[in-house]
Amino acid sequence: MPKIIGVIPLFLYGILAALTISILWEKYNFLVIVQAVTILLVATIGEHLVSGKGYYHYTNRNEIFVGRVPVWIPLMWITAIQGTLILSQFVGLNGVESIALSGIICASFDLYFIEPLLSRKLGMWRWTSVERGYFGFIPEQVNRFTAPFGNYLTWLFFPISMNWFLSCMAIFQFLL
């Protein structure tokens, strides 16, 4: 049974990434592919480099790796970044507001779902422990922080930068 655990997120996020790309295709055409490839490259290289520094490591439960990175992780980044842009536009926001909300939703999603479930509960990756934890000053019963603060900043600012990139490409294309 443990062999299948790493394959499930690969199929799940592969399908969800294809879905978000197809939804955004209506508005952005081929530019959404440029954004998705950029996310794939940055996420794969970034995750490989940062995990190599020893802050965390992916466990063997993930099964299929490119370097030190499970194949499904960059697909999850595409799903999260594009999915939160779709959600923020669906609720009627556009421009800077939808881009900012995408980062806030991604950071919240990481705080309340990804880290507690995938890291803490399922053990898909392990953070290098530090004495008294990353947020040892917060009472244990309210401490939701599984990862260091920089992780949550990444989940806030990387979606904002990637969705800003998509928006700028669209504006530039429109001006041509």
- Taking only the tens place, the pLDDT of each residue in 103-112 is 999 999 999 9
pLDDT surpasses 70 at 118: yes
Alpha carbons 103 and 100: distance in angstroms, whole number: 5
Sequence-separated (6 or more) residues with CB below 8 Å from residue 144? 111, 112, 116
What are the tokens at 66?
A: 């490119």
What are the tokens at 47?
A: 């995750």
pLDDT for 176 equals 66
Alpha carbons 107 and 115: distance in angstroms, whole number: 10
C-beta separation of 104 from 155 below 8 A: no
Q: Which of 24-33, 126-135, 139-148 has the highest mean pLDDT?
A: 24-33
The fraction of the chain above a pLDDT of 70, given in percent, is 88
What are the tokens at 62?
A: 């993930």
What are the tokens at 77?
A: 């980044």
Output the CA torsion sign for 17, 107, 158, 124: negative
